[in-house]
């Protein structure tokens, strides 16, 4: 019986090519967007090079100062003074990476202008993040304290300055109107990892920021690493106690908020605001609602298309009913047709997803991006396609099975 349903379904889909094309496009396009989006989120949120220990790290990247009486607010990265005088004295962190947010600068090599992104770091940066050194090693504490003009560069920056096959160790490069000696070359970090990514990594003592100023606002962020994920709550509590004891830098700005966030909380707090609530639950609700709506749209489209197909096939339905086909048989047939269409659309969506991900990885949209299909998400996506395909076929199939023989035959006249 199923074999006959399959043959009939293929014949019907081939006969009505326009409806088939619209249905397949809606299903495959929806699945492609879903798979590519989840591959992107997986790339951004999952621990990866050079940050495999993200599960035992907290990130401090913003301070929010409010003037409750004047209804004013300031928000910015933090100062080096804040990390040096307060955060460095915390007992729970085992390692602390302090770094200035990336800054774009121009460099020159052989009369060629090169655009590079700078990041100023402490020595702890190289202990928290596990960069793969292709040449040399990180700058030392002595070099940092002495303000030596040394730099660690990425493989991408090495290619810009010295070509794909060039070596950089011990050579000099120019950036930010200054010449630096290359101390090491690392495998490039993904562009979308803002905490790690840069072309040039310099000692923070070479930064033009006022490192001795006592303002809490500046251009620095930090990653606090603990020995075990079990210590994360302890670090949050200790950080909260430190913030409660923090002296108010300005009589007008009497409320200060700064949080050590897990990576997901950094994303949600950045998207939904820097208030007290981390908003992770709200972010999941918004994302879940968006995905549900995104899946419902092609389902509703399929229902409408299927209803239109019923009207066109009313004479066929009438003839089959006149020759004894039961409502149950017709319902099963129509549902099978819809499931076959959904499976074909899902397979096309998978093919398109592989193609789109390959194009994105090969492009310069986000350097060193490595998107991969999450097979768990793929499995659930295909299952969701089958469920929504089934749902989109049930109502039209029920409508079709209820058509009166005489009415169906008259519809052809």
Name the pairing type of β-strands 63-67 and 72-76: antiparallel
Among the candidates 209, 225, 260, a domain finishes at: 260
pLDDT one digit per residue (tens) for the chain, 413 residues: 566 666 666 666 676 677 777 777 777 887 788 788 778 878 777 888 999 999 999 999 989 888 877 777 888 899 999 999 999 999 999 999 999 977 888 877 777 888 899 999 999 999 999 999 999 999 999 999 999 999 999 999 999 999 888 899 999 999 888 999 999 999 999 888 889 999 999 999 999 888 888 889 999 999 999 999 999 999 999 999 999 888 876 677 778 889 999 998 887 776 665 555 555 666 667 666 676 676 666 666 666 666 666 656 666 666 666 666 666 776 777 777 777 777 888 888 888 888 988 888 877 676 667 787 777 766 766 676 667 666 666 666 666 666 665 555 555 55
Give me the pLDDT at residue 186, please. 97
**Do residues 93 and 41 both lie within one domain?**
no
- Does some domain include residue 249? yes
**Do residues 343 and 382 both lie within one domain?**
yes
**Do residues 102 and 225 both lie within one domain?**
yes
Give 104's strand partners. Answer: 117
**Do residues 296 and 392 both lie within one domain?**
yes
Q: Which helix (H) or strand (E) holds 324?
A: none
Give me the pLDDT at residue 107, please. 78
Give me the pLDDT at residue 270, please. 66
Give me the pLDDT at residue 306, please. 63
- Does some domain include residue 277? no
Are the beta carbons of 331 and 320 closer than 8 angstroms?
no
Exposed, middle or buried, 138 (CB in 10 Å: 0-12/13-18/19+)?
buried
Are the beta carbons of 65 and 74 closer than 8 angstroms?
yes
**Do residues 72 and 182 both lie within one domain?**
yes
Measured CA distances, 178 to 112, 149, 174, 207 (Å): 15, 8, 5, 12
* Domain count for the chain: 2
**Do residues 138 and 38 both lie within one domain?**
no
Give me the pLDDT at residue 212, please. 83
**Do residues 166 and 230 both lie within one domain?**
yes
Give CA–CA dist 98/195, Å, rounded: 10
Token digits for 242?
């430190």
- Does some domain include residue 69? yes
State how far Cα 332 lies from the chain centre: 41
Its pTM stands at 0.76
Give me the pLDDT at residue 79, please. 93
Give me the pLDDT at residue 273, please. 59
Give CA–CA dist 126/124, Å, rounded: 5
Give me the pLDDT at residue 41, please. 78
Nearest to 258 by CA among 59, 58, 57, 62: 62
- Does some domain include residue 304? yes
**Do residues 299 and 392 both lie within one domain?**
yes
Give me the pLDDT at residue 388, please. 66
CB neighbour list of residue 293: distance below 8 Å, 6 or more residues apart: none
**Do residues 199 and 233 both lie within one domain?**
yes
- Does some domain include residue 242? yes
Measured CA distances, 408 to 312, 325, 412 (Å): 10, 14, 7
Measured CA distances, 34 to 38, 298, 372 (Å): 6, 13, 13
- Does some domain include residue 144? yes
**Do residues 221 and 150 both lie within one domain?**
yes
Among the candidates 205, 227, 260, a domain finishes at: 260
- Does some domain include residue 335? yes
Q: Which helix (H) or strand (E) holds 196?
A: none
What is the span of the domain harbouring residue 113? 62-260
- Does some domain include residue 179? yes
Count, residues in the chain: 413
**Do residues 147 and 255 both lie within one domain?**
yes
Helices (H), 123-262: 125-128, 141-145, 155-162, 232-245
**Do residues 77 and 171 both lie within one domain?**
yes
């Amino acid at each position: 019986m199923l074999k006959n349903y399959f043959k009939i379904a293929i014949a019907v889909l081939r006969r009505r090519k326009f409806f088939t094309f619209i249905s397949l496009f809606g299903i495959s396009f929806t699945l492609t967007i879903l798979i590519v989006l989840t591959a992107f989120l997986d790339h951004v949120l999952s621990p990866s090079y050079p940050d495999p220990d993200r599960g035992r790290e907290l990130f401090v990247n913003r301070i929010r100062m409010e003037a409750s009486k004047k209804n004013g607010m300031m928000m910015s990265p933090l100062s080096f003074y804040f990390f040096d005088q307060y955060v460095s004295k915390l007992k729970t962190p085992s390692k602390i990476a302090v770094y200035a947010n990336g800054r774009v600068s121009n460099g020159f090599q052989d009369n060629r202008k090169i655009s590079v992104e700078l990041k100023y770091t402490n020595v702890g940066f190289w202990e928290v993040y596990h960069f793969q050194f292709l040449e040399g090693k990180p700058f030392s504490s002595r070099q940092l304290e002495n303000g030596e003009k040394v730099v660690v560069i990425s493989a991408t920056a090495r290619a810009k300055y010295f070509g794909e096959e060039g070596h950089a160790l011990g050579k000099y490069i120019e950036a930010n109107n200054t010449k630096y000696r290359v101390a090491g070359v690392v495998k490039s970090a993904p562009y979308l990892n803002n905490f790690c990514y840069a072309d040039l990594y310099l000692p923070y003592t070479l930064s033009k920021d006022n490192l001795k100023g006592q303002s809490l606002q500046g251009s620095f962020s930090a990653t606090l690493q603990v020995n075990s994920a079990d210590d994360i709550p302890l670090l949050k509590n200790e950080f909260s106690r430190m913030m409660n004891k923090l002296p108010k830098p300005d009589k007008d700005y009497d409320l200060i908020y700064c949080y050590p966030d897990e990576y997901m909380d950094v994303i949600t707090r950045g998207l939904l605001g820097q208030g007290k609530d981390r908003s992770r639950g709200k972010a999941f609700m918004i994302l879940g609602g968006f995905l549900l709506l995104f899946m419902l749209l092609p389902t509703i489209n399929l229902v409408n298309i299927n209803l239109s197909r019923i009207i066109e096939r009313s004479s066929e339905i009438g003839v089959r009913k006149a020759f004894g086909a039961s409502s149950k048989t017709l319902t099963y047939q129509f549902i099978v047709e819809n499931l076959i269409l959904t499976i074909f659309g899902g397979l096309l969506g998978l093919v398109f997803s592989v193609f789109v991900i390959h194009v994105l990885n090969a492009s310069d949209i986000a350097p060193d991006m490595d998107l991969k299909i999450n097979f768990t998400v793929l499995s659930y996506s295909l299952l969701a396609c089958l469920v929504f395909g089934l749902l989109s076929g049930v109502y039209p199939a029920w409508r079709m099975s209820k058509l009166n023989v005489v009415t169906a035959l008259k519809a052809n006249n």
